[in-house]
Amino acid sequence: STAYENILVETRGEGPLRYGWITLNRPKALNALNDALMDELGAALLALDADEGVACIVVTGSEKAFAAGADIAMMNPFNFPDAYRRGLISRNWDTIRQVRKPVIAAVSGFALGGGCEVAMACDMILAADNAKFGQPEIKLGIIPGAGGTQRLPRAVGKSKAMDLALTGRMMDAAEAERAGLVSRVVPAAELHAEAAKAAQAMCGYSLLALMATKESINRAYESPLAEGLLFERRLFHALFSSADQKEGMGAFLEKRAPNFTHR
């Protein structure tokens, strides 16, 4: 793998399309997100997004921590000009949004502050049963700075978002699943296997359809319903010009497995 210092990056899987696997790896700081780590995460995501042999990407941390937030030691001395010029919490964090392939967050342990925000910026969150989510910035005299006040209410509703961000309390995996923040909870020992299974399933589908699905679901957050429905219908119609649509439907009718060519 490339020479990253704060993350580990591999591609995994069998078959023509593989999946990227990114492990946040600053164990001594519970994967606290400093600029170096976020720059590497952004670079790795963009490289995997550009890799034609990759269908989707898993982002995970350690068993104890997905990420315990933005690096408090790094931020502590900043004043407004530093934060503004450097684009603190936006320069490299917005990169996740540019990725067009599905990104799965596989969360074990702490996903706090910026850690929760990175997970929410991914397309879906698979949680281990020991996962803990929260936006504890209030305890530091600040507010969430990477989407916590925007994505959390969209995911869990206003009341629970207010509760978490105003009290700084942590939410366990069961509560996160009830609230709709995470797609599923699995035993911690099975988290990576489940994430791999989901990623491997995606690798068997049409990359065009995967990307269009992601783009269309994301539209649900950016536009009124009528616009979103129109966007979806246009993409739906567009896919009928793909070889993969003929292959997928043809294979179903011929009762055989499809062999997508991503064209």
Annotated catalytic sites, by residue? 70, 114, 117, 137
Q: Are 123 and 214 in contact (CB under 8 A)?
A: yes
Min. distance of Cβ 150 from ligand CAA in angstroms? 11
DSSP notation for 148-205: HHHHHHHHH-HHHHHHHHHH---EEHHHHHHHTSSSEEE-GGGHHHHHHHHHHHHHTS
Give the number of residues in contact with ligand CAA, rule: CB under 6 A: 22
Give 162 or 235: the residue with its C-beta nearer to ligand CAA: 162
Work out the end-to-end distance of the chain between its first and last CA atoms, rounded to an integer number of angstroms: 29
Strands 103-107 and 124-128: parallel
* Binding of ligand CAA by 146 (CB under 6 A): yes
Give 20 or 114: the residue with its C-beta nearer to ligand CAA: 114
Would you state the torsion angle of the CA atoms of residues 88, 27, 137, 114, taken in this order, to the nearest 10 degrees? 50
* Binding of ligand CAA by 40 (CB under 6 A): no
* Binding of ligand CAA by 102 (CB under 6 A): no
Q: Are 41 and 4 in contact (CB under 8 A)?
A: no
CA–chain centroid gap for 254, Å, is 36
Min. distance of Cβ 113 from ligand CAA in angstroms? 3
Residues 107-126, interacting with ligand CAA (CB under 6 A): 110, 112-114, 117
Min. distance of Cβ 256 from ligand CAA in angstroms? 48
Min. distance of Cβ 152 from ligand CAA in angstroms? 11
| Contact positions vs ligand CAA (CB under 6 A) | 29-30, 32, 68-73, 89, 110, 112-114, 117, 136-137, 140, 144-146, 148
